[in-house]
Structure 1
Amino acid sequence: MSDHAPTVTLPHGTFTIAKRFTFQAGHRLPSLPPEHKCGRQHGHSYEVEVILTSDSLADPGFVTDFGDLHPFKEFIDKELDHRNLHEVLPIEPTSELLAQYLAGWIIDNLEPTVPGELVAVCVHETVSGWARFDVVRPQR
């Protein structure tokens, strides 16, 4: 009996990781009619999932060290947590547009400093409802 697992052939492919962040916030969607429930002030326990990929791994074998994503959490905590999103964001705070906005923040502020490339951002407003923004990159 061996003390080590058997050697296997490592297939080629891409590596993908995801990290979830949470925050509490209120919002309303001002462009909706007043009788629409989302046109009125309400709140959510948001969950944001950031998905990154890479063809190769940084030492010791990471797409991105999860700890290197901490500046994104700091941004969420400072700018979005316990805020009225329609008052602090330059967009209508739908889940779809929030996912796109957060993807833009990551690309502008985080991606240049960490290995890996952003694939998508998912924003969950509820346990059963979410929106996903997939990043489309120019062909190289």
Structure 2
Amino acid sequence: MALSTALPAVGMPPGVFRIGKSFTFEAGHRLTGLPPEHQCSRQHGHSYTVEVELVADELVTPGFVTDFADLKPFKAFLDGELDHRNLHEILPVEATSELLAQYLAGWFVQHVQPGIPGRLAAVQVRETGSSWARFEVAAP
């Protein structure tokens, strides 16, 4: 007689599904809105980590909020447009982590979100291991 290895069924509680994926890029910047004596008014660089967070009330087959592979256009944008650049020279906003997070959320919503299941909930930008800024996208 063979023993069953299947786990017993459980009640599935209601809720929201949430996933996240991290990306990295290297870039420099200076904050032009600061007094000259502030250290961040001088050119400096960071190893940025950007995390996107997506949510869904229901999963798509085979049980995803979205396939992580569907986020490749976002990685391509970071690599092609931001990596090894001076952010204050290319961003249409001041190059703070807060505004970078909001800008990246806008880019994601416009260029990636229309073609994938799930909805962008937040973008977090880390300049260092101990400092970050997070932009939470308002629910529609």
Q: Which residue does the alignment assign to 1:2?
A: 4
Which residue, out of 18, 21, 38, partners 2:20? 18
Name the structure 2 match of 1:106.
108
Q: Match for 1:136 among 121, 135, 138? A: 138
Question: 2 CA distance for matches of 1:65 and 1:88?
Answer: 30
Q: After the TM superposition, which residues 33-48 of structure 1 pair with which residues of structure 2 at under 5 Å, given as runs?
A: 33-48=35-50
User: What TM-score comes out, normalization by structure 1 length?
Assistant: 0.96
Amino acid of the structure 1 residue aligned with 2:22: R
Residue 81 (structure 1) aligned with residue 49 (structure 2): no
List runs of 5+ in structure 2 lacking aligned partners: none
Counterpart CA distance in 2 for 1:75 and 1:54 is 24
- Between the aligned partners of 1:13 and 1:134, the Cα distance in structure 2 is 19
Structure 2 distance, partners of 1:92, 1:47, is 18
Aligned residue-pair number: 138
* 2:73 paired residue number: 71
Provide the aligned C-alpha RMSD in A: 0.8
Which shows bigger deviation, 1-10 or 50-59? 1-10
Instruction: For 1:56 and 1:23, locate their aligned partners in 2 and report how far apart those are by CA, in whole Å.
Output: 32
Q: Give, as a single letter, the amino acid of the residue that structure 1 aligns with 2:125.
A: V
Shift, 1:47, TM fit = 0.2
How many Å apart are 1:137 and its aligned residue? 3.0
Quick one: which amino acid aligns to residue 23 of structure 1?
A: F
Report the CA distance between 1:5 and its aligned residue. 1.1
% identity of equivalent residues: 64
Q: Measure the CA separation in 1 of the matches of 2:19 and 2:122.
A: 11
Following superposition, the deviation at residue 2 of structure 1 comes to 2.4
Residues 40-79 of structure 1: per-residue CA shift (max 9 Å, x gap): 0000000000000000001100001000000000000000
Paired residue secondary structure (1:120): strand
Q: CA deviation at 1:9?
A: 1.0
Gaps of 5+ in 1: none
TM-score, with length taken from structure 2: 0.96
